[in-house]
Structure 1
Amino acid sequence: MSIRKVGGVFLRVTNLEKSLEFYTNFLGMEVAFTEEWDGTPEANLKTTEQNLFLTLIEQDEVQVLKEPVFNLVTDDAIAMHTALIDSDFNVTEVENWTSEYNHHVLFDVYDPDGHALNIIEMQPITK
């Protein structure tokens, strides 16, 4: 018996509508469906390559994730970084580094509640 995959990440937000705007309009995720759990509004988001990935759950108060606990993969980190800056979002500087397997271009962006999200582009190293 073993774990087959990550089923999803649950993130608490204080304003579901505002958070949905950020995650869909600025990060390009799609709403798979919305529902309520015991009267609590939530939205299930997906990326272009994955089905359900991120569930946003609206609560009056949230514990803000000041350090990223997951990353979101993009094909063009520089363009996304520029677009987020142009839209007045709080982002860190772009970092570049190379491992034995990949070249990484990455930065963090903070959602409307201040949760840190890591945005990363990885290009395989050809040997």
Structure 2
Amino acid sequence: MTVNFMGAVFVRVTDLEQSLRFYSDVLGLQLRNIEECGRIANYIIDEKSPLLTLIKTEGFEASEYPTFNLNCNNVLEIHEKLVAQGVKVGPIKNWSSDVNIHIDFDVYDPDGNAINLIEWSRKD
């Protein structure tokens, strides 16, 4: 089997309209389309990224751990802005790997799905 690329990341949500406002207005993502069935919404980040697909689903429990992260600039400013807006966020974490220096935090959508927002730079 040969995998060419990741096509989409799926996020289950209970209220698609409420989630659309969060992912569009709070996170600033670009909505590509809502599928005809009316229960699936696709966000595009850039031409090379997988789609972020919201799927309206009843009766699930959100994980407290993020299943994906979004690479951002100015993570500290984003955290401050989200806190001022009353959005649920986790603490800021600073850490290093063998290659990069990271700063990140989790933000929670209306269903409690954790989304990790991260900024990293190469170690010198």
Q: Do these two structures clear the TM 0.5 threshold for a shared fold by scoring above it?
A: yes
Q: Counterpart of 2:95?
A: 97
Q: How many residues were matched structurally?
A: 124
Cα displacement (A) at 1:18: 0.9
The 3-state SS of whatever aligns with 1:92 is coil
Q: Counterpart of 2:119?
A: 121
| Superposed counterparts of 1:79-90, under 5 Å | 79-90=77-88
Unaligned runs of 5+ in 2: none
| Superposed counterparts of 1:10-29, under 5 Å | 10-29=10-29
Question: Structure 1, residues 45-71: CA drift from partner, whole Å, max 9, x if none?
Answer: 011464552100112323312211111
| Superposed counterparts of 1:1-127, under 5 Å | 1-36=1-36, 39-48=37-46, 50-126=48-124
CA contact (8 A) 2:101 2:120 kept: yes
Query: Identity across aligned pairs (percent)?
Result: 39
Q: TM-score, normalised by structure 1?
A: 0.88
Q: TM-score, normalised by structure 2?
A: 0.90
RMSD of aligned Cα (Å): 1.6
AA of the residue aligned to 1:71: N
In the aligned structure 2, how far is the partner of 1:123 from the partner of 1:52? 22
CA contact (8 A) 1:47 1:53 kept: yes
